[in-house]
């Protein structure tokens, strides 16, 4: 289940189950979106991206869904593994702009 702590919400998922991490983005003009994974004490690691002319994109074990109407992004991780434990951030940018703006983040906790 999901709980909201002081800063980062946590999603607890049983190993082997699918995880769905949600994100609301802020700028309706954003046209490029990225999901990052950040392990403790490390920099963000690119997972998958999607442009605003798409509503779904699949990678290896991951799928990103984009709903521009409600400014919502989700990351689905299939068959969650212990190595998926991390904080996941959605990020948005304008393709003509260089700046990547990060969302709040969700901690994914894998239950054995």
Binding residues (CB under 8 A) for other proteins: these are 5-8, 36, 41-46, 89, 98-105
Nearer to other proteins, 20 or 49 (CB): 49
Nearer to other proteins, 28 or 45 (CB): 45
Nearer to other proteins, 15 or 102 (CB): 102
Cα 48 to Cα 11, 25, 76, 112: the distances in Å are 19, 16, 11, 26
Minimum CB distance to other proteins, residue 102 (Å): 4
Minimum CB distance to other proteins, residue 40 (Å): 10
Minimum CB distance to other proteins, residue 10 (Å): 10
């Amino acid at each position: 289940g999901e709980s909201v702590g002081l800063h980062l919400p946590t999603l607890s998922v049983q190993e082997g189950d699918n995880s769905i991490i949600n994100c609301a983005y802020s700028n309706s003009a954003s046209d490029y979106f990225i999901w990052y994974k950040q392990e403790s004490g490390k920099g963000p690691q690119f997972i998958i991206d999607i442009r605003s002319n798409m509503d779904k994109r699949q990678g290896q074990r991951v799928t990103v869904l984009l709903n521009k109407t409600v400014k919502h992004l989700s990351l689905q991780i299939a068959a969650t593994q212990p190595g998926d434990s991390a904080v996941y951030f959605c990020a948005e940018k304008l393709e003509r702009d260089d700046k990547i703006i990060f969302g709040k983040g969700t901690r994914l906790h894998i239950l054995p």
